[in-house]
Amino acid sequence: MIFDLLTTVDQGGCSSKLPAAKLALALKVLPKITHPNLLVDIDTHDDAGVYKLSDTLALIQTVDFFPPVCSDPYEFGQIAAANALSDVYAMGGAALTAMNIVLFPSTKIPIEALTDILRGGLDKCTEAGALVVGGHTIDDYPPKYGLSVSGTVHPDRVITNAGARPSDIVILTKPVGTGTVIAGKRTRNAKEKDYAAALASMKLLNKHGAELMQEFNVKSATDITGFGLLGHALKLAKASGVSIRINSSNVPLLSGAYELADLGCLPGAGFRNLEFVEKECSFGEGLDYNLKMLLCDAQTSGGLFISTPAKNADALLARLKKEGYPASEVIGEVMASRSDQAVLSIL
């Protein structure tokens, strides 16, 4: 390894996102953008924008970048690319092209580290079947990297965060806890095997998950990133006009994440996420505090949060487990919205 990127940041990856409440405050005064071909806009805070090009083709556009989430530059490039590509997959699309977004301190870190970051991003895009066609660089510290990604989907097959319906079953395809494990790595409390498992999870593309969602005619999904499991679940529930019950004991956790949370390796982003969701959540009496915080832990390149009709849930879960997402679990159910009931109920 040429340079340890974690020495440049206090919080990296999606933990560095602007708090959801402040983002909503900044956006609320902006004029609404409307167009007959704009299928998904900013209103529901979905994962990407979708623009209809023809009766059979729609364009998906997204962008994501962040400071280092791991030590090794090549792995950072892989994870940042997988994270950016994930927004296309959450919409049920296929990635087409990508452009690098680079902020790099040319006098403070060996330039070879930048080469490794870009190589990691390129290799992950190649795995995804997307072409890296250019980019933009700024000299800045600490380093940041990500991609602007364009993808495609059939206009009638767009998967959004607004399509969940009562009686749907909720499936999560990756374990949570990346923010906590990375914090444990910084404090030297994380075991190397647990850190390696977290990196592997973040590098895993959601591509096959998107393909399976299309095969099973899923209408609603999102990916779990900086606002944590509960933050993204809340956004999906509100966009869909439903409530969601989550069984916390069914949520898959990364190896070592609970133990690290118990040691106090809880990144600040988790507390900001809890503040964002808690007014619209009902937490079960006796809910384990560490587990509660892991549900709010800011994820980087997390899994797909899938709302699927109950009749398809078992078959979809089995395929997900078989085809690359062995940690997939049913974690909850969708219910009709009621004025006397919280948007999210956490058991």
**pLDDT tens-digit readout, 65-114:** 999 989 899 999 999 999 999 999 999 999 999 999 999 999 999 999 99
Q: Kindly name the residue from 14, 125, 265, 281 that is annotated as catalytic.
A: 14
Average pLDDT taken over every residue of the chain: 91
Number of domains observed in the structure of the chain: 2
Q: Are residues 141 and 187 in the same domain?
A: no
| CATH number for the domain harbouring residue 92 | 3.30.1330.10
CB atoms within 10 A of CB 127: 15
Rounded Cα distance, 125 and 314, in Å: 31
- End of a domain among 126, 157, 188? 157
- Are 194 and 342 within one domain? yes
The CATH number of the domain holding residue 306 is 3.90.650.10
93 in the same domain as 219: no
Does residue 288 fall inside a structural domain? Answer: yes
What is d(CA 10, CA 68) in angstroms, rounded to the nearest whole number? Answer: 10
| Residue at a domain's end among 129, 157, 185 | 157
Q: The tokens of 304 are what?
A: 């797909």
293 and 229 in a single domain? The answer is: yes
Q: Quick one: angle between helices 20-27 and 268-277, nearest 10? A: 60
Q: Is 163 inside any structural domain?
A: no
Residue 171 above 80 pLDDT? yes
- Write down the pLDDT at residue 95: 97
Residue 14 pLDDT > 70: no
Task: Report pLDDT digits (tens) over 220-253.
Answer: 999 998 889 999 999 999 999 999 999 999 999 9
Query: Which residues contact residue 40 at a Cβ distance below 8 angstroms, ignoring those fewer than 6 apart?
Result: 46, 48, 49, 50, 91, 158, 160
Using the predicted structure, report yes or no on whether residue 115 has a pLDDT greater than 60.
yes
- Provide the domain limits for residue 125: 5-157
pTM of the predicted protein model: 0.91
Question: pLDDT tens digit string along 316-325?
Answer: 999 999 999 9
pLDDT band per the 50, 70, 90 thresholds, residue 192: very high
Answer with the one of 157, 187, 208 that is the final residue of a domain: 157
Q: Are residues 181 and 293 in the same domain?
A: yes
Give catalytic status of residue 70 as yes or no: no
